[in-house]
Amino acid sequence: MIIPAVSYLAGAFVLVLFGTRNGRALLRDNFMNTMRTCALKIPYSIRLVIFRMCFNLPLPITKRILEVLTAPQGIQKTYIQQKNISSLTTAHWIGSGVANLPLAEVESTAADQDLIVMLIHGGGFTVGNSTMYMSTMTAMLKRMKERHNRNARILSVDYPLALTHPYPHAPNACFEAYQYLVHTLSVSPSRIIIMGDSAGGNMVANLLLRLCEQRRDPSLPPLPQPAGGVMVSPWVTLHDDSPTYITNKKYDISTGPQLNHHVSYYLPDDLTRKEMLNNPLVSPVLGSYTDVVCPLLVTYSDHELFQYDAMRFVERARQDNVKVDVICRQHQPHVWIMEPMVSTTLDVWQEDVAKVTDWIVGCI
């Protein structure tokens, strides 16, 4: 009698798992969590090869792989609330329990937060999404609360991607998101930090330059600068002549040909591309930052293709009297701070996420 009863229970269990939406979601979450845990145990040298291969696949395949590998899992889903800012600009509010709140309440309490991080994800302007860094975002929010007793939320921008939306759609969407915070929700800029990695770091600098331009134009409504800006492994020039494109090419997850493909998607007009590459809003290392009043944090590694250009940007901003702090790590790949699977070790990721979080809190 015991064996049939056990069989019935086992059958019911399988039916619940595979035959219901919640069951399938549970299976999927557990499977992906197991995959991510196992990935962290793979030697870094092998992970590096795997990531390089994935990022050099045809664009639709790369996009799909990123979506699957970085999809929010389990409790992370309770942190997410979508907001459509305009017809082209979507964002996600990230915060403890915000998924269970009405959007109107999330928005009405935004100005009451101790700080808001406006995050701009990377992906070469062509791949990625606003929930791809949930591990890092939740770790930052937890540290802000538990270590610093700061109530914080993140507005992660889902800007339109090339191919279908080349420059300037992405930076325009980021500008809209900042206006949404300041003008629509009345969040004080003194409580806003803008943060971006890779192409997102490019758009952090782009946004600061545009805010400086707007301040000089009396016909436009005032839009003050944020309390600070964080640029993680920033792609600050779309030229491909950096010496570290050569010296670091065997160490990084990014490759020169891959980056040039992204540039061709972002700036698809062959006739104007050369001219656009010298536009400071496209290659921010060429910009003037004399009117930037907020401090910056720039992170890069000595194994990144972007190492030399990031150093040039730091030097340029400091020459223009911008306060710039730097986190430089040895032997790390591109955007190691944003994704634990990319970092050489979990300890390195945790330590540097903590450093970035502490710097952000220090700006408020």
Confidence of residue 28 (pLDDT cuts 50, 70, 90): low
CB 79 within 8 Å of CB 138: yes
**Is residue 80 over pLDDT 50?**
yes
Q: What is the pLDDT, as a whole number, of residue 218?
A: 78
Token pair for 262? 């992204």
What mean pLDDT comes out for the span 75-95?
A: 95
**Any idea which of 178-182, 270-274, 338-342 has the lowest mean pLDDT?**
270-274
DSSP letter for 197, please.
E
pLDDT on residue 10: 44
Q: Looking at residue 31, what is its pLDDT?
A: 63
Q: Tell me the torsion sign for CA atoms 220, 205, 128, 137.
A: negative
42-363 homologous superfamily: Alpha/Beta hydrolase fold, catalytic domain (3.40.50.1820)
- Which pLDDT belongs to residue 26? 53
260-274 per-position pLDDT tens digit? 999 999 999 888 998
Burial class (CB in 10 A: 0-12, 13-18, 19+), 78: middle
- CB contact at 8 A, 136 and 353: yes
Look at residue 14 in the predicted model and tell me its pLDDT: 45
Is residue 100 predicted with pLDDT exceeding 60? Answer: yes
Specify the pairing of strand 228-232 against strand 324-329: unpaired
Residues 119-125 have a mean pLDDT of 97
Do β-strands 152-158 and 90-94 pair in parallel, antiparallel, or remain unpaired? Answer: antiparallel
What is the rounded average pLDDT for all residues in the chain?
A: 91
Tell me: pLDDT of 305 over 80: yes
* Bridge partners of residue 195, in order along the sequence: 119, 230
Q: Where are the domains of the chain?
A: 1-41, 42-363
Amino acid 20: pLDDT: 63
